[in-house]
Amino acid sequence: MRRSPAGLFNFGTSCAGAGGFINISQNAKKLVFTGTFVAGEMQVRYSNGSLKILRNGDIRKFVSKVEHVTFSGDVAGKTGRPVLYVTERCVFRLSKAGLELTEIAPGVDLQRDILAKMDFRPLIPKEPVLMDPRIFAAEPMGLRDRMLSIPLEQRFTYDEATNHFFVNLERFALRNEADTEHIRQIVTDRVAPLGRRVYAIVNYDNFTIDPALLDEYSAMVRGLMDKYYADVTRYTTSGFLRMKLGDALEKRGVAPHIYESAAEAEKSLQEIEGGGVKG
């Protein structure tokens, strides 16, 4: 299996049949094989972001030969398709040279728990990186937030024609002091080189913040206004956030009014630029 063929329909003396696997696997743009590293009775323990093998199964899966080939590693390697083999203790990828060990679970011993349980030695061109320790923790990994949220750096946009600076904090969860500092640094990096103050519009729809961070966050906002903003309008559909954030900003001497919609915030900014009365 150095070239990583796979036989996926023989299980001991039982033959389940290949079904449509061959057609699907040979035409897929990317393949990810998942399963335990070995078969048989096995016990593992996940604790504090690491994996401990208590008992290994006695049936090897990474063997030198398979009785029937239902997936050709040679063919996949020549086409350059991404192929991964993900197990509970390590991750391999198929390269043109063969099967390469790329990741290892925290707490796993490379020689005892992996190499000693294989019929052949995989390629290890560099030190395998550790698998994400969140996989081996009891609490949720937070994948939804990670996959669906917009990276903070992409939430800031400057329109040179209007001199408007848009800050989109929609669905952003400010959880610690580092988040506050990150926002301050991004605004500084984007606005300071312009050499002039900008008019900012901030979207707080579904924005969440730890109440203990409100004062620090408001102080950061006041500092940005003093240095970089000609003026700023804010909006959110949340009445509760308008009240809480408005109170915190007012304590820092910042106009506490937060609009309910983007249209209201933009209209107010136009009035401010035109010399009208602030909302």
41 inside domain: yes
Q: Are 81 and 30 in contact (CB under 8 A)?
A: yes
Answer whether 7's CB lies under 8 Å from 67's CB: yes
Long-range contacts formed by 13-20: CB under 8 A, 24+ apart: 18/68, 18/70
Asked if 183 and 68 sit in the same domain, the reply is: no
101, 136, 171 - which closes a domain: 136
Considering the domain architecture, whether residues 152 and 118 belong to the same structural domain is answered as no
CA 253 to CA 161: how far, in whole Å? Answer: 30
153 and 131 in a single domain? The answer is no
Residues 26 and 63 in one domain: yes
150 and 267 housed in the same domain? yes
How many angstroms separate the Cα of 5 from the Cα of each of 16, 52, 108?
Answer: 18, 29, 26
The larger pLDDT score, comparing residue 167 to residue 19, is at 167
CATH, residue 156: 3.30.750.24
Residues 152, 93, single domain; the answer is no
> Do 132 and 157 share a structural domain?
no
The pTM of this model reads: 0.55
What's the CA gap between 8 and 11, in Å, rounded?
8
pLDDT in tens, 78-103: 777 899 999 999 999 998 888 999 99
Enclosing domain of residue 19: 10-136
- Count how many domains the chain has: 2
CA pair distance 25, 31, nearest whole angstrom = 7
**Do 117 and 218 have their domain in common?**
no
Of 85, 110, 136, the residue at which a domain comes to its end is 136
Same domain, 175 and 259: yes
Q: Are residues 194 and 111 in the same domain?
A: no
Q: Which structure tokens are listed for 111?
A: 């020689």
Domain assignment present for 174: yes
CATH number at 32 reads 3.40.1080.10
User: Mind listing the pLDDT tens digit for each residue in 126-162?
Assistant: 999 999 998 998 888 877 777 767 899 999 999 999 9
Domain-terminating residue out of 98, 114, 136: 136
Determine the average pLDDT of the residues in 258-272.
89
Is 104 exposed, middle or buried (CB count within 10 Å of its CB: 0-12, 13-18, 19+)?
buried
Answer yes or no: do 172 and 238 share one domain.
Answer: yes
Q: What is the percentage of the chain residues whose pLDDT exceeds 70?
A: 91
